DNA sequence: CCAATAGTGTCTGTGAGACAGTATGAG
DNA sequence: CTCATACTGTCTCACAGACACTATTGG
């Protein structure tokens, strides 16, 4: 076997699909590329590992996201590696894609001040010029997020620290694009034991709504049944 | 942003956790390393991408597995990327781990002739010296396989093309380490519409058993409920 | 015949879907 | 008061678990 130094190394990058839900619409953070290839097209936030700054690829993803949003996402997980000769005109490339969730409120103020970063509704992506195979990456990330939404409470990471059932329900419905039963959601909140009821309630146009928050030490549990599609 | 050529590139490798079930025991293919680091320790089959041979990382995994087993696995999917400064004494490294399934019968004859490749029961791995963080990778792969076994028919890929319910049941029980109800399995086989009944039956010590096979165009569907843990 | 494995019938349990009904806020 | 939103009670339905029962082979 040849020494690793003699082997042509492919380009390796880390990109992230950062989701949020604003006004009942699922949106993705896109940045306008300033360089070739795909200069001036929209792409996912990401870049190369910096071995001196990053302990691992998770840190690369976080660092690149922080550069665009000023905040760490509430949730970050690996999606998949995409690789091949065709996906980048510069040659064989390997991209590790992450997907991440953040509360819109947490980044809203900061993102206005950052040039060329923008929340795009996932349904409007096809109207734009998207760099590389990033459209395909986003589509896979969306499918993964939808699947996980059916059997976990992942969407809480699109909400501020305190939230109501109604808000959670709206976020879930924005992700899976189907209405769900409030009752089913409440059963899951109860059964999961992941949340605590706050002693505050907030107004929302009718009866005051109970505020919930994730317990500090809570694990994200998976339910044994999916919500129905 | 600096040109990619100026950035220190980490070592990038592709490793695979190839599972099979033999004699009701879940086993992993391990190879004895012939070089430093971890010379003479057991490690996962894998290696570097060869840009001239591999269209993408899936091909790298397949190529490396074929070199050890002589066969393509029945199923191959990405597990996760592992990265960091500590996991390889040579420096910062990035490994894309795959997990794969194969029928023991398919590779049994070939594997004897390949030096230093060996099926190790997952329960006995702790007794061996395992290279890098490969033990941790195998453990994560096993968890993923267990999870998928609860909501899909993935274990059929540990069986020959034609198989009986009893064989499938045995493989599932070896993977999840719990008994399951034959009735539940039959309901799933029926509901999935993924299989066809053969017109043969085979003897297994009692009443003849119906042979099934995956339909040629079958998609692996996911059930909406898990088997109980 | 018996032992062994394959396969069925059917009851229970759990949790999601549906939806009517009640509770409580703002105006 | 009315309207809007929050929450509850409760029925149905789908499907997994349990397990007794029948079926079919070899010896």
Q: Tell me, yes or no, whether B74 and B53 share the same domain.
A: yes
Give, in Å, how far the C1' of C3 lies from the CA of B66: 44
All residues of chain B having their beta carbon less than 8 Å from the beta carbon of residue A225 are: 224-226
- The pLDDT confidence band at residue B1, using thresholds 50, 70 and 90, is very low
**Would you say residue B86 lies in a domain?**
yes
**Would you say residue A187 lies in a domain?**
yes
Q: Which residues pair with A213 in a beta bridge?
A: A162, A196
**Would you say residue A219 lies in a domain?**
no
- pLDDT at residue A113, rounded to an integer: 65
E strand segments, chain B: 11-22, 25-32, 42-43, 46-48, 75-84, 93-101, 117-121, 162-164, 195-202, 209-214
Measured from the CB, is A207 under 7 Å from any atom of strand D?
Answer: yes
Whether pLDDT at B137 is above 80: yes
DSSP letters, B59-90, are HHHHHHHHHHHSS--SEEEEEEEEEESSSSTT
Q: Tell me, yes or no, whether B110 and B46 share the same domain.
A: yes
Q: Cβ of A165: how many Cβ atoms within 10 Å?
A: 16
Task: Using the CA of A224, give the nucleotide whose C1' is nearest.
Answer: C15
Measured from the CB, is A203 under 7 Å from any atom of strand C?
Answer: yes
**For A226, which of B11, B85, B224 is closest by C-beta distance?**
B224
Q: What is the CATH number of the domain that holds A199?
A: 1.10.10.10
Q: Which domain-ending residue is among A94, A124, A150?
A: A150
Measured from the CB, is A110 under 7 Å from any atom of strand C?
Answer: no
Cβ separation A81–B12 shorter than 8 A: no
The string of pLDDT tens digits covering residues A90-147 is 999 999 999 999 999 888 777 766 668 899 999 999 999 999 999 999 999 999 999 9
Q: Tell me, yes or no, whether A32 and A71 share the same domain.
A: yes
Q: Is B122 helix (H, G, I), strand (E, B) or coil?
A: helix
E strand segments, B122-189: 162-164
How would you classify residue B193: left for phi > 0, otherwise alpha for psi between -120 and 50, otherwise beta? left
Measured in angstroms, the CA of A56 and the nearest CA of chain B are apart by 4
Q: Tell me, yes or no, whether A63 and A143 share the same domain.
A: yes
Q: Is A138 helix (H, G, I), strand (E, B) or coil?
A: helix
Q: Which domain-ending residue is among A104, A122, A150?
A: A150
**Would you say residue B162 lies in a domain?**
yes
Whether pLDDT at A3 is above 60: no
- pLDDT at residue B66, rounded to an integer: 93
Measured in angstroms, the CA of A127 and the nearest CA of chain B are apart by 28
Chain position carrying tokens 């997907």: A99
**Would you say residue B225 lies in a domain?**
no
Please provide the average confidence, as pLDDT, over all residues in chain A: 93
Nucleotides on chain C that have an atom closer than 7 A to a protein CB are: 3-10, 15-20, 23-26
Measured from the CB, is B186 under 7 Å from any atom of strand C?
Answer: yes
Q: Tell me, yes or no, whether A49 and A90 share the same domain.
A: yes
Instruction: Provide the number of CB pairs (under 8 Å) joining chain A to chain B.
Output: 75
All residues of chain B having their beta carbon less than 8 Å from the beta carbon of residue A224 are: 225-226, 228
All residues of chain B having their beta carbon less than 8 Å from the beta carbon of residue A80 are: 78
Q: Tell me, yes or no, whether A139 and A165 share the same domain.
A: no
Q: Which residues pair with A13 in a beta bridge?
A: A48, A95
Q: What's the whole-number mean pLDDT along residues A1-22?
A: 78
Count how many domains chain A has: 2
Whether pLDDT at B140 is above 90: yes
Q: Tell me, yes or no, whether B126 and B188 share the same domain.
A: no
Q: Tell me, yes or no, whether B88 and B131 share the same domain.
A: yes
Measured in angstroms, the CA of A195 and the nearest CA of chain B are apart by 23
- pLDDT at residue B166, rounded to an integer: 97
Whether pLDDT at B158 is above 50: yes
Q: Tell me, yes or no, whether A48 and A25 share the same domain.
A: yes
Q: In chain B, which residues from 141 to 170 place their CB closer than 7 Å to nucleic acid strand C?
A: 164-166
Q: What's the whole-number mean pLDDT along residues B165-192?
A: 98
Q: What's the whole-number mean pLDDT along residues A57-62?
A: 98
Q: Tell me, yes or no, whether B91 and B163 share the same domain.
A: no
Q: Which residues pair with B30 in a beta bridge?
A: B118
> What is d(CA A170, CA A168) in angstroms, rounded to the nearest whole number?
5
Q: By 3-state DSSP, what share of chain A in percent is helix, strand and coil, each rounded to 5? A: 35, 30, 35
Whether pLDDT at A5 is above 50: no
The string of pLDDT tens digits covering residues B84-109 is 999 999 999 999 999 999 999 888 77
Burial classification of residue B24, based on how many CB atoms lie within 10 Å of its CB (0-12 exposed, 13-18 middle, 19 or more buried): exposed
The string of pLDDT tens digits covering residues B104-136 is 988 877 776 666 889 999 999 999 999 999 999
Measured from the CB, is B209 under 7 Å from any atom of strand D?
Answer: no
**Which residues, in sequence order, are CB contacts of B120 under 8 Å at separation 6+?**
B27, B28, B29, B30, B42, B128
The string of pLDDT tens digits covering residues A45-56 is 999 999 999 999
E strand segments, chain A: 11-22, 25-32, 42-43, 46-48, 75-84, 93-101, 117-121, 162-164, 195-202, 209-214
Say if residues A46 and A67 touch (Cβ distance below 8 Å).
no
Give, in Å, how far the C1' of D26 lies from the CA of B209: 14
> What is d(CA B225, CA B212) in angstroms, rounded to the nearest whole number?
23
Q: Tell me, yes or no, whether A24 and A51 share the same domain.
A: yes
> What is d(CA B64, CA B49) in angstroms, rounded to the nearest whole number?
10
Q: Which domain-ending residue is among B102, B125, B150?
A: B150
All residues of chain B having their beta carbon less than 8 Å from the beta carbon of residue A11 are: 4
Q: By 3-state DSSP, what share of chain B in percent is helix, strand and coil, each rounded to 5? A: 35, 30, 35
> What is d(CA B142, CA B28) in angstroms, rounded to the nearest whole number?
10
Say if residues A118 and A30 touch (Cβ distance below 8 Å).
yes
**Would you say residue A176 lies in a domain?**
yes
Q: Tell me, yes or no, whether B69 and B116 share the same domain.
A: yes
Cβ separation B12–A11 shorter than 8 A: no
> What is d(CA B172, CA B227) in angstroms, rounded to the nearest whole number?
11
- pLDDT at residue B68, rounded to an integer: 87
> What is d(CA B43, CA B93) in angstroms, rounded to the nearest whole number?
16
Instruction: Name the residue range of residue B187's domain.
Output: 152-214
Nearest to B79 by CA among B63, B60, B102, B95: B95
- pLDDT at residue A229, rounded to an integer: 81
Q: What is the CATH number of the domain that holds B18?
A: 3.90.79.10
């Amino acid at each position: 076997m040849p020494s690793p130094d003699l082997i042509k190394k492919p380009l390796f990058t880390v990109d992230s699909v950062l989701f949020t839900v604003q006004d009942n619409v699922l949106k993705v953070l896109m940045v306008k590329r300033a360089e070739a290839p795909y200069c001036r097209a929209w792409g996912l936030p990401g870049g190369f590992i910096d071995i001196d700054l990053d302990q691992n690829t998770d840190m690369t993803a976080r660092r690149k996201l922080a550069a665009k949003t000023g905040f760490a996402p509430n949730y970050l997980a690996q999606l998949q590696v995409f690789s091949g000769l065709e996906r980048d005109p510069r040659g064989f490339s390997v991209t590790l894609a992450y997907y991440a969730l953040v509360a819109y409120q947490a980044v809203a103020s900061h993102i206005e001040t950052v040039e060329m970063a923008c929340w795009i509704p996932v349904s409007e992506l096809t109207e734009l010029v998207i760099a590389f195979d990033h459209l395909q990456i986003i589509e896979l990330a969306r499918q993964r997020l939808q699947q996980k939404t059916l059997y976990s409470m992942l969407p809480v990471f699109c909400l501020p620290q305190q939230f109501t059932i109604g808000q959670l329900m709206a976020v879930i419905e924005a992700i899976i694009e189907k209405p769900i039963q409030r009752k089913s959601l409440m059963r899951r909140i109860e059964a999961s034991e992941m949340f605590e009821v706050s002693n505050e309630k907030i107004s929302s146009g009718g009866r005051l709504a109970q505020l919930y928050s994730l317990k500090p030490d809570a694990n994200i549990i998976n339910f044994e049944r999916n919500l129905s599609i």
